[in-house]
Amino acid sequence: MLYILQKYFFKKFLAVLVFALIGFLALVVIIDMVDNIDRFLDRNATGGQIFSYYMYWAPTQFVRVVPVAMLLAILFATASLVKYNELVAIRSSGFGLFRLFWPVFLFSLLLAGLVFLLGEYVVPFSSSQSEYIKKIEIEKQAAADPEQASVFLTAPGGWIFFFGGFDPNEKRAYTILAQRFEEGRLAEVLEAEALDFSGKHWILEQGRHRHFVGDGKENFTTFGRFEMLDMTTSPGKLLRRREKPDQMTFAELSTVIAQKKRAGQPTVREEVGLHMKISLPLLNALIVFIGAPIAVKIRKSGFALNFIIAVAIAFLGIILFRLAQTLGETGSLPVILAAWGVDVLFFAAGLSLLFWARR
């Protein structure tokens, strides 16, 4: 009997969720298209370019509308049971709210996992592609000349590099300054005219090497060729460090944090971003704990009220998350509290509301 009731409720929830996801995603695409259509037409954008832009733009927007869609689905599915007194009948049969909602809670965790995977493997690439199509192909903005761009990056082993010029096509960099730190202390300095990374490891050309051995002493040598055998990764890959934490994968961000720590640089911003790669998708599951009890207690909730409640709770969660993120990145809050505080708050509020709704 319980399985039948759970299946019945889950079908209601899933039907509303699919409709809400499609509806919200279509809405944000239409709004953006209306806002940008004049710009597209002025630049003679083709239908293929516009279609490709929105195809790559959609995954990012999908991730953003999931919380609102989840809330709307749980509110409407639960409200329909309340409206037709089905919830009273279910309770009279001896089944509690938590047992009825259990499949939805499990599904929300699975969806949170899907959002995490999208953020790892789809959103970073699709976001960069949509930006490229819009700025380069449609708006005809000139791409940055890699040979003229100064580049700063961190590399394994505690090294920090500055390239006066960087040409990824020729696999060379120019006017090199490199510093290696040990426990926050400057240990080595390399200066070179050029860097060749076309082989298995990096090779510096025509430069000098300063090695600080302590007590203010240093060893100084010049070289025509200096092989950095530990440097096997392309600088282009290391440059992902320059992106925002939410534009990198979990593994890439972890690598950046490790590199910065070896170089003695602050990592608070990246650590907050790393934790939020898990805590933010988990919010999609936790808000279900809040939406379901509220729908049970609001006996005569219509479409407008449910919609307002869903949007209000979802936006409250996002606003609190961004506020905590800012406070964490500036050091005003500990990293763990900044990243997980809102999740804990929503979980506690959800459980309290669930027990309140059972009375």
* Residue of higher predicted confidence among 296 and 344: 344
Spatial distance between the Cα atoms of 187 and 161, rounded to a whole number of angstroms? 14
Distance between CA 321 and CA 8 in Å, rounded?
34
Question: Which pLDDT score, from 0 to 100, does residue 354 have?
Answer: 75
Provide the pLDDT for residue 339: 92
Q: Is the pLDDT of residue 10 over 80?
A: yes
Within 13 Å of residue 149, how many CA atoms lie on the same side as its CB?
13
**Tell me: the pLDDT tens digits for 105-156?**
899 999 999 999 998 888 877 887 888 788 878 887 655 444 445 666 777 7
So what's the pLDDT on residue 203? 93
Report which of residues 176 and 256 the model is more confident about. 176
Segment 43-67 shows an average pLDDT of 90
DSSP H or E segment with residue 65: helix 47-83
> Per the structure block, which two tokens stand in for 181?
């730190």
Alpha-carbon distances of 137 from 50, 129, 134, rounded to whole Å: 10, 11, 6
What are 140's two structure tokens?
Answer: 């005809």
Q: pLDDT category, 264, cuts 50, 70, 90?
A: low
Tell me the pLDDT of the chain averaged across its residues: 82
Please state, for a pLDDT cut of 90, what percent of the chain lies above it.
27
Identify the pLDDT of residue 191: 94
pLDDT, residue 358, reads: 65
> Can you give the pLDDT at residue 241?
46
Structure confidence at residue 148 (pLDDT):
44
